[in-house]
Amino acid sequence: MKKRPLTIMLASPRGFCAGVERAIQTVERAIKEYGPPVYVRHEIVHNRFVVESLEAKGAIFVEELDDVPSNRPVVFSAHGVPKVVPAQAEERKMIYLDATCPLVSKVHREAERHYQVGRHILLIGHKSHPEVIGTMGQLPNGSITLVEGPLDAEKIKVPAGELAYTTQTTLSVDEAAETIAVLKRRFPKIYGPKKEDICYATTNRQQAVKAVAPSCDAFIVIGAPNSSNSMRLVEVAKSAGCPKATLAQRAADIDWTWLADTKRLGISAGASAPEILVEEVISACREHFTVSIEEVKVTEEHVHFKLPRTMNG
């Protein structure tokens, strides 16, 4: 039976960002330097394939520091950790490596600077996301109020005095702008970051999806359901004109009946999804369709972060 033609529109940039590459390399380096097992507090990045690959090399993923023996090294995930976590590691004289993305650390430092001059901080982000927990954990309780979106911004109550806002690095650029606009309208004297908090990779991947989605019948974002930046890409594809957009962790997740009438399929990948999974999805498409590929590149990325030094010892 003759296969139907399918044009795959590949959004670029996509997949791994510099912070994710640095975090994965930090775990790999720790395994090489200290030998297995190396413990990792929380998923190093939100991707099962990556986590399982590191487990195969000798990483053990745990939820809390209490689950780590004092004589083994531990790596903190790319999302950042509350200050109490490295403090506990110091107390236990542990070897630890902090793989927090430098762009998340930038948000932490901003929040601290605002706090030091007496400002109350509004953090725009998603409740229970590890990055938000990490940022809120930089300062004493009550110093930061979480704002989850424009509706929240309309009704949030704030203490008297100066205000500042920061944002989670993996938000929808458009929704964050809406939320910030509400805060600026309600609190005209609010202080903001000198440079955008939403990271370059989140912004670039969303722009690439916006460039591709309007000309697609369907859109697949490769990423994990607990990956904020991947979920935002699905939302962006829908709002940019491709209502048939979904998330898939791997090729095995794809419902081929869902693609039955598709002529042009858009593909992107979240910042924690490796390119090998994109290739896997394209190969699976070739089994069902006669595939031609068009890559739409909105920008080049040349960002690279140095690996963290061993924090103690």
Work out the pLDDT band at 310, boundaries 50, 70, 90: low
In the chain, what percentage of residues exceed pLDDT 70?
98
Mean pLDDT, range 265-294, rounded to an integer = 97
Active-site residue, from 21, 43, 110, 131 = 131
The CA distances from residue 157 to 113, 220, 222, 312, in Å, are 22, 39, 38, 41
pLDDT in tens, 30-50: 999 999 999 999 999 999 999
pLDDT in tens, 192-212: 998 889 999 999 999 999 999
Q: Which residues contact 206 (CB under 8 A, 6 or more apart)?
A: 172, 173, 232, 233, 236
Mean pLDDT, range 238-264, rounded to an integer = 96
Q: Where are the alpha helices (DSSP H) in 35-83?
A: 48-57
Enumerate domains of the chain plus CATH numbers: 4-16+200-297 (3.40.1010.20), 18-98 (3.40.50.11270), 102-186 (3.40.1010.20)
Mean pLDDT, range 216-230, rounded to an integer = 96
Gap between the Cα atoms of 124 and 80, Å rounded: 16
Given a cut of 60, is residue 311 above it in pLDDT? no
Given a cut of 60, is residue 269 above it in pLDDT? yes
Work out the pLDDT band at 2, boundaries 50, 70, 90: confident
Q: Which amino acid belongs to residue 171?
A: L
- What's the pLDDT score for residue 309? 74
Lowest mean pLDDT, pick from 79-88, 245-254, 301-310: 301-310
pLDDT in tens, 144-159: 999 999 999 999 999 9
Q: Provide the whole-model pTM.
A: 0.93
Gap between the Cα atoms of 19 and 79, Å rounded: 9
Given a cut of 70, is residue 312 above it in pLDDT? no
Mean pLDDT, range 64-75, rounded to an integer = 96
Gap between the Cα atoms of 143 and 56, Å rounded: 41
Mean pLDDT, range 225-248, rounded to an integer = 96
- Active-site annotation holds for 131: yes
Given a cut of 50, is residue 181 above it in pLDDT? yes
Given a cut of 90, is residue 313 above it in pLDDT? no
Token pair, residue 39, equals 């413990």
Render 180-235 in DSSP notation, one character per residue: HHHHHHH-TT-B--SS-SS-HHHHHHHHHHHHHGGG-SEEEEES-TT-HHHHHHHH
pLDDT in tens, 135-147: 999 999 999 999 9
> Which residue bears the tokens 């725009």?
124
- What's the pLDDT score for residue 302? 95
